[in-house]
Amino acid sequence: MVRKLPMSTFRPRALSSSASTAPLVRISSARFFGAGDGACNPSRRLALFHLGSAIPQGKLFGVKAPKMLRVEGNAIVAATGGSMAQTSTAITQEGALEWVKKDNRRLLHIVYRVGDLDKTIKFYTECLGMKLLRKQDIPEERYTNAFLGYGPEDSQFVVELTYNYGVDKYDIGTGFGHIGIAVEDVAKMVDLIKAKGGKVTREPGPVKGGNTVIAFVEDPDGYKFELLERGPTPEPLCQVMLRVGDLDRSIAFYEKAFGMELLRKRDNPEYKYTIAMMGYGPEDKSTVLELTYNYGITEYDKGNAYAQMAIGTDDVYKTAEAVRLFGGKITREPGPLPGINTKIMACLDPDCWKSVFVDNIDFAKELE
């Protein structure tokens, strides 16, 4: 029997019943992400480098660079012939950028916590039309998770729901926005959701400042789903929206550290917000990350409900170094998970949104 990848290893451990009001850092799994996983110190998170001990960067990225690089305070120094001399980091960054752009990356799934797993699965399958792809219970760690989507995990973006024993409520916070679903007829979908007892928070109609017909619905835990009227698409789960405090900073980070492309950017001064669509492919064929900046708001409450996104990569070690080079914080050093051997690494962006990178080959083997 082939063991399925327990993607709950990308979710925090079980919570106590009082954890619904606790900050996210208290429910992070030190086993997989390190004790400092939820912390995000603004004074350190934007530091250009955090390499720690010496790393042969030139060998790592396949570029011509000094033999060894070290961080001493704010300076990058190179070891050459037994002496230490200050040097430029342009080549190292260039090599990292080149590799990141060539890496085979795809958004795999989004992870968040729910208070009643069976109730949520019923809503997603009956109201949103998703399929339950797999479900597993881990009694020794007191949690159950379920994967749902519109197609197989090896080719499509899916959601991972996590239920921690005895915890029936979470705080979504103000930072997480919504998940987008592309549908051919928004009004018809809304009627179906209403007939099943679902909650519609925005009736079908054109989006503010545009022409696309949309609607908003909420699942039993209060997570919002935006229904977007589009033609047939290979990726119905088409968006994940997160709010950020500095849009230009976030765009630069996701372009350089994550290798995403800025697909489009739109300012809406009438409604005082700007959005940027980032991704690894066109919006009509792949899942994208929607970053939203609301004028004058630089920080958001993350709550303790949303966990992270998982992204495929050909090399978690190179990915970790690229993230470090461009200001990200590593919260779980790259390497295999105990007992599974699937290689992962976890990190935070400048706004403390967490992502987990998963080795593509290992992930494919676990889904066989």
Q: Does the annotation list 255 as a binding residue?
A: no
Q: Give the C-alpha separation, 3 to 365, whole Å.
A: 9
Q: Does the annotation list 140 as a binding residue?
A: no
- What the block records as the tokens of 59 is 């060998």
For the four alpha carbons of 121, 124, 127 and 129, in that order, the dihedral sign comes to: negative
Phi and psi dihedrals of 298, rounded to 5?
-110, -15
What residue type is 241 in one-letter code?
M
End-to-end CA distance of the chain: 10
Whether 196 contacts 126, CB under 8 Å: yes
Three-state secondary structure call for residue 122: helix
Instruction: Return contacts of 38-44, CB within 8 angstroms, 24+ apart.
Output: 38/352, 40/329, 40/348, 40/351, 40/352, 44/329
Q: Does the annotation list 160 as a binding residue?
A: yes
- Of residues 72, 153, 226, 333, which has the active-site annotation? 226
Active-site residue, 126 included: no
Q: Which residues form the catalytic set?
A: 226
Annotated binding site: 160, 178, 226
Annotated binding site for Zn(2+): 160, 178, 226
